Amino acid sequence: MSVMLEFRKVSKVYYLRRGFLAPKKPFYALRNIDLAVHENEVLGILGESGCGKSTLARLALGLETPEEGEVLLEGINFSALSEKERRKLRRKIQIVFQDPYASLNPRKKIYDLLAEPLIIHQLVPKKDLRARVGAMLTKVGLREEDMERYPHQFSGGQRQRIAIARALILSPRVLVLDEPTSALDVSVQAQILELLREFKEKSKLTYVFISHDLPLVLFLSNRVAVMYLGRVVEISPAESFMARPHHPYTKMLLESVPEPDPYKRKLPKVKGEPPDPTLEFSGCPFFPRCEKALSSCEKEVPGLREISKGHLVACHSL
């Protein structure tokens, strides 16, 4: 199993100004991320807002450059490349965003939206473009004639199919899915999930599936990485995730998800809120909310340790 995409000690800093005259403060969106995505797997990235999961996606696509560390796609470092080479490499990794109302240019026909990547990367002779776009549309469950229409003529679910078609038309190796169903109703979400699942079964695509929704991530993924405040706190195979989550934050997440079953009703005691990410602190990011915190948690950041095969946890109390 070869590594498709790799993050090596990656940190990403943004500088934020809080108020008109206030000095800019560094804000670590990602801190020291070590993560490998293997060929042909679905890696789920689970986390709440502000945990850095979308920044991770932007770095994976080479849309942002990390301040520290490197991001490698099939062993090639994005930041070491020229803009031209970077663009070429990007063909191999594509993304589907959350909001299909914002990610499709409303003034372009579906044909133009789907043909543009092919033209930019000069993959298909001009005379074959229409056939290629038509074939892609049928693959995602739309009709060939839909290429003559505009995005506003489609529903949210159909637009997300178009976004998936646009990503897949370049035959990428890795598909990053950043909350691809969060804007959709459950019945439409199921259609998109099934489409993604079927594509996965048929091809050797690698997925990075980013979501805040735990059951959703576990449904689609082989492995799950849990993020909290810019760090990966746990990586686990999806099968054993429910049975033995080890990080206290992962446990909190699992307890918090309400079960769609009145016989399993629970009202857990959940402590605190995530702290302001611009504040500097030296210890474990979860320390202020953690039930199991030790004195060392306040001073020292725990690193990821393998506690059983393929299961890594960043916690001092284990």
Partner 1 sequence: MNILEVSALNIFYSKSRIPVVEEVSFFLPAGKTLALVGESGCGKSLTGLAIMRLLPTGLEITGGQIHFENKNLLELSPEEMRRVRGGKIAMIFQDPMVSLNPVFTVGTQIAEVLELHRGLGRQKALAEAERLLAEVGLPAPKARLKAYPHELSGGMRQRVMIAMALAGNPKVLIADEPTTALDVTIQAQILALLASLKEKHNLSVLLISHDLGVVATLADLVAVMYAGRLVEKAPCEELFSKPLHPYTRALLEVLPRPEKKSLKPLPGQVPPPGARPAGCKFSDRCPSAQKKCFEKEPPWQEVFPRHWVRCFYVSDA
Residues making contact with partner 1 (CB under 8 A): 48-49, 155, 157, 185-191, 193-194, 197, 212-216, 218-220, 238, 241-242, 252-253, 255-270, 273-274
Q: Which one-letter amino acid corresponds to residue 285?
A: P
Are 151 and 110 in contact, with CB atoms under 8 Å apart? yes
d(CA 166, CA 160): 10
Q: Which is nearer to partner 1, 204 or 266 (CB)?
A: 266
* Token digits of residue 65: 């450059």
d(CA 154, CA 194): 19
d(CA 248, CA 264): 21
Q: Which is nearer to partner 1, 86 or 311 (CB)?
A: 311
Shortest Cβ distance from residue 275 to partner 1 (Å)? 10
Shortest Cβ distance from residue 109 to partner 1 (Å)? 22
Shortest Cβ distance from residue 286 to partner 1 (Å)? 11
Q: Which is nearer to partner 1, 185 or 300 (CB)?
A: 185
Q: Which is nearer to partner 1, 129 or 188 (CB)?
A: 188
Residue 35: name the closest of 73, 92, 90 by CA: 73
Q: Which is nearer to partner 1, 93 or 252 (CB)?
A: 252
Are 304 and 246 in contact, with CB atoms under 8 Å apart? no
Strand partners, 43: 208, 223
* Token digits of residue 61: 């696509």
Shortest Cβ distance from residue 145 to partner 1 (Å)? 18
Give the single-character DSSP code of 273. -
Strand order in the sheet with 42-46: 93-96, 174-178, 206-211, 42-46, 223-228, 231-237, 311-313, 305-308
Give the single-character DSSP code of 289. G
Q: Which is nearer to partner 1, 198 or 306 (CB)?
A: 198
Shortest Cβ distance from residue 248 to partner 1 (Å)? 12
Shortest Cβ distance from residue 133 to partner 1 (Å)? 24
Are 198 and 190 in contact, with CB atoms under 8 Å apart? no
Q: Which is nearer to partner 1, 158 or 206 (CB)?
A: 158
Within 8 A by CB and 6+ apart from 82, the residues are none
Shortest Cβ distance from residue 193 to partner 1 (Å)? 6
Give Cα 285 to chain centroid, integer Å: 21
Q: Which is nearer to partner 1, 153 or 155 (CB)?
A: 155
Shortest Cβ distance from residue 271 to partner 1 (Å)? 9
